[in-house]
Amino acid sequence: MPPDKNREDELKRSELTFFGQITASVTHEMNNVIGIIEQVAGLLEDLAVGVEYGRAIDPEKLKGISARIITQTERGTDLIKRLNYFAHTVDEPVCDCEMDELLQNLVDLCQRFAILQKGSLEAELTPYLTVRTNPFVLEQVVFIALRLSISGLQKEGIVKLTCVKIDSGALITVYGPAVSESEPKEATLELIKTLAELYNMTINVELSEQSSLFKLSVPNYIDEAVS
Amino acid sequence: MMTSKILLVDDEVEFTSILAERMETRGMNVDTAESGAEAISKTESTFYDAIVLDMAMPEMDGITTLKELLKINPDLQIIFLTGKATLEKAVEAVKLGALDFLEKPVKLDNLIAKIEQAKTKKMALVAKREEEKIKKILGKKGW
């Protein structure tokens, strides 16, 4: 059954929030990359001024600077690729999704959220598993589960995402520490369930004082009328 | 002129490393810290002319670090340097006692100008405290 107007508005807001959180995180990191490259360029300028005053440049120093630039450009390229892949997941409402590629990209995009909590994200994904679904909604549901688990991360803690093949499609699990008290759990769980149901996915949530476990079943066929 | 003693705080280690290198070639004495906790620990044992602080860091963010640093020494001159600059955050930081709020990427000359301003302000504050101390001692002696 299609959601009512209020529900629809809420879902749209949630989509924008999701998109905003991902792009804000990536652009923040991109800004760091640009900041480093700018300082490296400044370092070269400093060396050039030194040469004007008769100081010699050590070729090893130049090689080191070049390596620093390459490291940062690779980091920047990687960030752009991830964001670009993510942006294209809104292209089609329903398509054949390579689960390992889609989920690994999401995990990479979310790694910074875990790092900010001094923890990390790990993924164990069955390769070559394709499921026909709405990639953007799937990412959104998994993202919300990841964010809830990440909220409770302590130093060196891990949130783990797995994806395995099941008869009906794929089973995704997110396992981590107990969700932080500051998270609006009930409203978020309600939202995640609604989102999942829209595309015939089912989600089971087990929250305790020690851990959080989200089991998302993604069918490999979707009723085109729903999409 | 006395060498400026600066602390750069940012979880982007590569960023602080290059910035420190460039500042040192300009005669500054630069320490780096990659977290709020490390910055606090270093500030407890060293008196810095200025602290350049990032906003978004793991565990302890810039605002919390600022509050803790000012508890150690209210005369500390703290300049925020962040990629996550919003007017709201800038106002909050300055209200809490930060000297200024700069956005990344930053031109080194602009940062150094701000550091010089911080140093002047710190020296004025130290001089004021010394004057108050002397007045108090003299007052006790009835002079």
Q: What is the pLDDT of residues A161-186, one digit of tens each?
A: 999 999 989 999 999 999 998 887 88
- Report the alpha-carbon distance of residue A216 to residue A142 in Å, rounded: 8
| Residue that wins the pLDDT comparison between A227 and A222 | A222
Radius of gyration of the CA atoms of chain A, in A: 22
> How many contacts (CB atoms, under 8 Å) link A and B?
51
Cross-chain Cβ contact A42/B108 below 8 Å: yes
Using CA atoms, how far apart are residues A43 and A39, in angstroms rounded to an integer?
6
Query: Which value does ipTM take for this structure?
Result: 0.82
CATH superfamily of domain region B5-140: Response regulator (3.40.50.2300)
Q: Does residue A210 sit in helix, strand or coil?
A: coil
Parallel, antiparallel, or unpaired for β A211-219 and B29-33? unpaired
The CATH superfamily holding the domain A94-219 is: Histidine kinase-like ATPase, C-terminal domain (3.30.565.10)
- Give the range among B49-63, B76-90, B96-110 with minimum mean pLDDT: B76-90
Q: How far is CA B66 from CA A46, B52, B53, in A?
A: 31, 10, 8
- The residues of chain A that CATH labels 3.30.565.10 are 94-219
| Nearest Cβ partner for B105 among A38, A46, A116 | A38
Which residues have C-beta within 8 Å of that of residue A47, sequence separation ≥ 6? A57, A61, A62
DSSP code for A90: G
Tens digit of each residue's pLDDT (9 = 90 or more) over A79-133: 999 999 999 999 998 999 999 999 999 999 999 999 988 899 999 999 999 999 9
pLDDT at A59: 93
- Candidates B11, B15, B28, partner chain A, best to mutate (most A CBs within 10 A): B15
Which of A72, A83, A62, A92 shows the shortest CA–CA distance to A222?
A92
Q: Residue B68's closest CA among B46, B90, B96?
A: B96
Among residues A26, A113, A130, A36, the alpha carbon closest in space to that of A78 is found at A26
Q: Which residues pair with B7 in a beta bridge?
A: B31, B51
d(CA B10, CA A174): 31
Query: What is the per-residue pLDDT across A109-124, written as a single tens digit (0 to 9) for each?
Result: 999 999 988 899 999 9
Chain A: closest CA distance from residue B120 (Å): 25
Average pLDDT, chain A: 92
pLDDT digits (tens, 9 = 90+) for A24-61: 999 999 999 999 999 999 999 999 999 999 999 899 99
The reported pLDDT for the residue numbered A227 is 46
What residue of B is the nearest CA neighbor of A36?
B15
Q: What is the DSSP letter of A57?
A: P
**pTM assigned to the model:** 0.85
Residue A222 has pLDDT above 90, yes or no: no
User: B124-133 long-range CB contacts below 8 Å, 24 or more apart?
Assistant: B125/B75, B126/B75, B129/B75
Residue scoring higher pLDDT (B126 or B108): B108
Of the candidate CATH numbers 2.20.28, 1.10.287, 1.20.120, 3.20.20, the domain formed by A5-87 belongs to 1.10.287
Three-state secondary structure string covering B127-140: HHHHHHHHHHHHHH
Q: Start-end ranges of CATH 1.10.287 in chain A?
A: 5-87
